A and B are shown apart, each in its own frame.
Chain A
Amino acid sequence: MIGFIRLADSLSSWFGKAFAWLIILMSVGVGLQVLLRYVFNSPTSWSLDVSYIMYGSIFMVAGAYTLSRNGHVRGDFLYRLWPIRVQATVDLILYLVFFFPAVLALIFAGWKYAARAWRYTETSVFSPAGVPVFQFKSVIVLAGILLFIQGLAQVLRCIICLRDGYWLQPEEDVLETEDQLLAEAAESRIKDRDQEQT
């Protein structure tokens, strides 16, 4: 079980992180557009297309990565106060009732949607540059599949929690500055306490 969770976590983060680098390409690409417009008075026709394709790919694919790091917004002010096994029970039920139907719909309906775009080798309708979007529409299916696998891992986490009474944390990853600082502060406090005790 733990093996599968680790596998799903790393699959999600691998895809999420790989697509995350598009942000650099996006900054440079859109930045280039500004330069071309003001310095060379010859704006590109594809910049608009390329920027939404990159933005959309980044966030869609990062959906599963964010789920694996528990990064999706939740109204958890009550949830935090519950005993850990209650949390796991509620999560387990809601994953089965809410999460999987939605993600399966994304995969199957997305498949149909993307397949049709492939059939026409559809291009973006926002400019005459003919920038292809059929591959971009396929991102819906990819995002759905990654979420499905990560969802299974989250369900297994709930089961482990019900059985053993602890949440299996994802492996260490980059942290928000605030989380990093919070973690450091907590660590130094533990150290201080240990020193006092010895």
Chain B
Amino acid sequence: APPVVGQSPITMRMQTSWPASNIWQQMAQQYADRVEAMSGGRIQVDLLPAGAVVGAFQVIDAVSDGGLDASHSVSAYWYGKNRAASLFGTGPVFGQDARNLQSWFYAGDGKQLFDELVRDEMGLNVDGYFGMPMPAQPFGWFTSPFESMSDIEGSRYRTVGLATNLLQNMGLSVAQLPGGEIVPAMERGVLDAFEFNNPSSDRDFGAQDVASNYYLGSFHQANEMFEYLFNQDFMDSLDDDLRAILIHSVEAASTANYALALDQYSADLQWLQNEGGVTVHRTPQSVMDQQLVAWEDLISELEEEDIMRRILDSQRSWVERTAYYELMNAPDYQAAYNHFFPETLKL
């Protein structure tokens, strides 16, 4: 319908799972800005941080009930309800990165399988989309350096989603906490080590105050994305153009988010190294190899459930074809970097 003069704007109440100061709140704000600009102000986004209405892990309930119109979170946060949640961003790595997985969501069977999971299997009243293919997540923060898995066996380590099962199987004692509680938990002695997501968020949490060894590179969460959930009734109540704006702003914000991430994450990594007193390491190859083996074991366990098997089958056949093309085609970027910035990388 054409906009009616004097029509009052629709307010969309959207809560994130992030503290107000986190860079991810800025990314959610980029989404909100796009929605407001493209709708000419017909939609106003009331963007709230974690805890404003419900806790970080409870946004999916609140959106389904209508307590929130929308949420900005990650699907790993509700994997206590259904472990298949984790396959949308923190699942096994068959050779795909997050951009590849996001492509599976939009061009492969991803959206259809997600709808089947949340609507048919779980009976939730939500419509979901994925944005911002994240860079692989670092293995994380440790109080002292290590060479192999046996050095850190038994440590209490924080991660989320299927990565909890993965690392538990690799001999860590895993706890899953919301981002804002990690550093207090390190202080309280509940944790020995943790990963959150990226140099900027980690710096913002004060990771450098509780641990000084930062390990980059890991297969535990190498293709995560933001999960946007909308209350289905709220979506249905909108005019077609506004609904399209909400959906396609996810795609638009994806580009803006990635640009912000690349700029900010890299700058904060430098800050951590130069001013934060942090030693940056590359995660030992042996640990990453063990991660792949651990994924293999976990996959066979997960596949006992029908919906998980179907999601994994779909991802595997998608990756087999698309990543073959990507990898066969990719030039050696590392060689180019080394050529122009010799002796910089510490791999």
The answer to A–B direct touch (Cβ < 8 A) is yes
Asked if B80 contacts A48 (CB within 8 A), the reply is: no
B80 touches A128 (CB 8 A): no
Which chain B positions have C-beta within 8 A of A133?
80
Among A41, A127, A128, max chain B CB count under 10 A is at: A128
Residues of chain B from 117 to 159 with CB closer than 8 A to chain A in the complex? 122-123, 153-154, 156
A136 CB to closest chain B CB, in angstroms?
12
Q: Which of A48, A119, A126, A128 contacts B122 (CB 8 A)?
A: A119
Name the distance in Å between A130's Cβ and chain B's nearest Cβ.
9
> In whole angstroms, what is the CA distance A159 to B122 when docked?
48
Minimum CB–CB distance for B169 against chain A, Å = 9
Q: How many Å lie between the Cα of A105 and that of B177 in the bound state?
A: 29
Contacts between the two chains (Cβ within 8 Å), count: 47
Q: Could you tell me if B154 and A122 are in contact, using CB atoms closer than 8 angstroms?
A: no
Which residues of A125-181 are within 8 A (CB) of B? 125-128, 133
Contact with A along B153-173 (1 / 0, CB 8 A): 110100000001100100001
List B residues 209-224 near A (Cβ within 8 Å).
none
Partner of A45, one of B122, B153, B175, B177: B175
- Which residues of B sit under 8 angstroms from A124, Cβ to Cβ? 80
Contact of A27 with B by CB under 8 A: no
B82 at the interface (CB under 8 A from A): yes
Give the CA-CA distance A89 to B112 in the complex, in Å.
60
Q: Residue B168 contacts which of A41, A123, A128 (CB distance < 8 angstroms)?
A: A128
Determine if A42 is an interface residue (Cβ-Cβ < 8 Å).
Answer: yes
Q: B82: which A residues are within 8 A, CB to CB?
A: 120
Q: Which residues of A contact B123 (CB under 8 A)?
A: 116, 119
- The reply to whether the CB of A43 lies closer than 8 angstroms to some CB of chain B is yes
Smallest CB-CB separation from A121: which chain B residue?
B81
The complex places the Cα of A126 from the Cα of B156 at a distance, in Å, of 13
Residues of A within 8 A of B115 (CB): none
Closest to A126 in B: B176
Size band of the B side of the interface? Answer: 20 to 34
Contact of B164 among A44, A117, A128 (CB under 8 A): A128
Report chain A residues within 8 Å CB of B164: 127-128
Pick from B122, B156, B177: contact of A43, CB below 8 A.
B156
Determine whether the beta carbon of B77 is less than 8 Å from that of A125.
Answer: yes
B77–A48 touching, CB < 8 Å: no
**Are A45's CB and B57's CB within 8 A?**
no
Taken together as a complex, chains A and B put the C-alpha atoms of A41 and B177 apart, in Å, by: 22
B104 within 8 A of A: no
B154 close to A125 (CB less than 8 A): no
Range for the number of chain A residues in contact with chain B: 20 to 34
Cα A125 to Cα B80 with chains together (Å): 5
**Contacting pair B173 A126 (CB below 8 A):** no
Q: Which residue of B lies closest to A42 (CB)?
A: B154
With both chains docked as a complex, state the minimum distance between the C-beta of B200 and any C-beta of chain A, in angstroms. Answer: 24
Interface string of A43-80 (1 = CB under 8 A from B): 11100100000000000000000000000000000000
Among residues of A, the one whose C-beta sits closest to the C-beta of B169 is A128
A45-B168, A120-B82, A120-B122 known; A125-B174 Cβ under 8 A:
no
A142 CB, nearest partner CB in chain B, Å = 20
Chain A residues with CB under 8 A of B175: 45, 48, 126-127
User: Given A48-B190, A119-B122, A119-B123: A128 and B77 within 8 A (CB)?
Assistant: no
B174 contacts A127, C-beta separation under 8 Å:
yes
- Which of the residues A41, A43, A120 comes within 8 Å of B81, measured between beta carbons? A120
A150, B165: Cα distance in complex, Å = 44
Output the least CB separation between A43 and chain B (Å).
5
Closest A residue to B168 by CB, please name it: A128
Nearest B residue to A132 via CB reads B80
B 95-131 to A, binary, CB cutoff 8 A, 1 in contact else 0 = 0000000000000000000000000001100000000
* B78 interfacial by beta-carbon distance below 8 Å: yes
B79 contacts partner chain A, Cβ-Cβ < 8 Å: yes
B33 within 8 A of A: no
Q: With an 8 A cutoff between CB atoms, is B296 at the interface?
A: no
Interface residue? B61 (CB, 8 A)? yes
Query: Which residues of chain A have C-beta atoms less than 8 A from B165's C-beta?
Result: 128
Distance A65 CA – B123 CA, assembled complex (angstroms): 37
Chain A residues, CB < 8 A from B61: 113, 116
Q: Are A128 and B174 in contact (CB under 8 A)?
A: yes
A43 and B154 in contact (CB under 8 A), knowing A122-B81, A128-B174?
Answer: yes
Q: Looking at A43, A122, A133, which has the most chain B CB atoms within 10 Å of its CB?
A: A43
Q: Are B176 and A122 in contact, CB atoms less than 8 angstroms apart?
A: no
Question: How long is the Cα–Cα vector from A137 to B81 in the complex, in angstroms?
Answer: 13
Minimum-distance CB pairs A-B, first 3:
A125-B80, A128-B164, A120-B81
- A-B contact list, 13 entries, CB within 8 Å: A37-B154, A113-B61, A120-B81, A123-B80, A125-B57, A125-B78, A127-B164, A127-B175, A127-B176, A128-B164, A128-B165, A128-B174, A133-B80
Q: Contacts A45-B173, A125-B78, A127-B175 given; 8 further ones with Cβ under 8 A?
A: A42-B173, A116-B61, A117-B81, A120-B82, A124-B80, A125-B80, A128-B164, A128-B168
